[in-house]
A = this chain, B = another copy of it.
Amino acid sequence: VSILAVAREAGVSVATVSRVFNMPDKVSPETRKRVEAVARRIGWLPNASARTLRTQKSRVLGIVLPTLLNPVFAECLQGLALEAARRGYAIVPVTTEYELAREASAVAGLQAASVDGMVLVVSNPARSAALRRLREAGLPYVLAYNRHRTHPCVGVDGEQAVAEVVARLASLGHRRIAMVTGQLAVSDRAQQRHRGYLAGIQAAGQRPLVLEIPFVDANLDALSRLLGRAQAPTALVCSNDLLALRSIRAATQSGLRVPADLSVIGFDGIALGSDLPQQLGSVVQPNALIGQTAATLLIDALERRAVPTAADSRTLPWTLRLGETCAAPARVAGP
């Protein structure tokens, strides 16, 4: 079932059938109707591979992200997918499971799949072999959540946000504010937020206390120990919502009440956070919008036959939600 069948059946040439689907205004209305009717009747749709081979554009976007198990990325992908669909693009998502090696192979795979462009969330834009490769190949791409001077990026200013979080907690009366973060080495987002924490702590004239949780599937024993000791922190700034949720669980199991004994705030603003019995405090990012904006940027560039550059980067606004897991400390530390 090819274009030829339609052409024959409609009594026209293949060129005309092609025009009906690509430049409808260049075909007389009657012919067009006839062709469309035949196509519908025999259930013909232009073959995407043939079209891609001929035009050298696939209308497919490759998406590289760490995982779908963190709702942040699922929400982002959803926004991205919707926008892509709206503009007639398909997406091929690939997850890297936070493994650097997979970043490179994901990009290679997508390149072989002839994607027109890519949206990626990488571990660290500064030292990403995958990005270098993309740039050299001249393949259009946009980063999401990452931030870097020389790459086109869509995200929020995490550093400023976390500094603000610390300031707010301090103004609530917290004098011992700790940070709980995932592995700093594998994520420039975590690093960004960490810098914000340090800046905030310094501005508040306090001492920093950072707990780095080694694995993706976080083991929180260290946190429980920290919370158990004298002069334990009264507030926890977590570098993402999943970590915040787990921290709250660990605290609760250690007999602490949240937020009376311990305030906890996360980062990301995953939708679920608002549905919990205790609304999760968080730096709320517009995740779907980040995805959507990345898609828009990329597709706009594609249609201009251009490549997005650092100048196209967008910094989107975040909002601070203290939720129901943050409050003034019940017992203020003595002098």
A95 touches B113 (CB 8 A): no
B78 touches A69 (CB 8 A): yes
Chain B residues within an 8 Å CB radius of A60: 92
A15 in the interface (beta carbon within 8 A): no
Chain B residues within an 8 Å CB radius of A85: 94
A332 in the interface (beta carbon within 8 A): no
A180 in the interface (beta carbon within 8 A): no
A92 touches B95 (CB 8 A): no
A235 in the interface (beta carbon within 8 A): no
A54 CB, min distance to chain B CBs, angstroms: 9
Task: Determine the main DSSP class of A at the interface with B.
Answer: helix
B78 touches A90 (CB 8 A): no
Chain B residues within an 8 Å CB radius of A245: 272, 275-277
Q: Across the two chains, which residue of chain B brings its CB closest to A137?
A: B43
Interface string of A270-285 (1 = CB under 8 A from B): 0110011110000000
**With A47-B53, A90-B92, A272-B272: A68-B75 Cβ-Cβ less than 8 Å:** yes
Q: Across the two chains, which residue of chain B brings its CB closest to A80?
A: B68
A234 in the interface (beta carbon within 8 A): no
A14 CB, min distance to chain B CBs, angstroms: 16
For A52, give its contact among B49, B74, B81, B242 (CB under 8 Å): B49
CA distance A48 to B53 in the complex (A): 9
For A91, give its contact among B92, B272, B275 (CB under 8 Å): B92
For A49, give its contact among B58, B75, B252 (CB under 8 Å): B58
CA distance A114 to B48 in the complex (A): 7
A11 CB, min distance to chain B CBs, angstroms: 24
Number of identical monomers bound together in the oligomeric complex: 2
Chain B residues within an 8 Å CB radius of A74: 68-69, 71, 74
Q: Across the two chains, which residue of chain B brings its CB closest to A258?
A: B277
B277 touches A252 (CB 8 A): yes
A136 CB, min distance to chain B CBs, angstroms: 9
Chain B residues within an 8 Å CB radius of A93: 81, 91, 93
Interface string of A39-73 (1 = CB under 8 A from B): 00001011111101100001010000001110100
**With A93-B91, A249-B276: A68-B81 Cβ-Cβ less than 8 Å:** yes
CA distance A94 to B81 in the complex (A): 7
Q: Across the two chains, which residue of chain B brings its CB closest to A51?
A: B49
Q: Across the two chains, which residue of chain B brings its CB closest to A43?
A: B137
Q: Across the two chains, which residue of chain B brings its CB closest to A81?
A: B95
Which residues of A (143-170) have their CB < 8 Å from a CB of B?
Answer: none
CA distance A277 to B277 in the complex (A): 10
Q: Across the two chains, which residue of chain B brings its CB closest to A76?
A: B68
Chain B residues within an 8 Å CB radius of A46: 112
A-B contacts, 14 of them at CB < 8 A, read: A47-B53, A49-B114, A53-B53, A67-B78, A68-B77, A69-B271, A71-B74, A71-B272, A81-B94, A91-B92, A91-B93, A245-B276, A249-B277, A252-B277
Given contacts A68-B78, A71-B71, A248-B277, 10 further A-B contacts (CB under 8 A): A46-B112, A47-B112, A48-B49, A49-B58, A69-B71, A81-B94, A90-B92, A92-B92, A246-B275, A272-B272
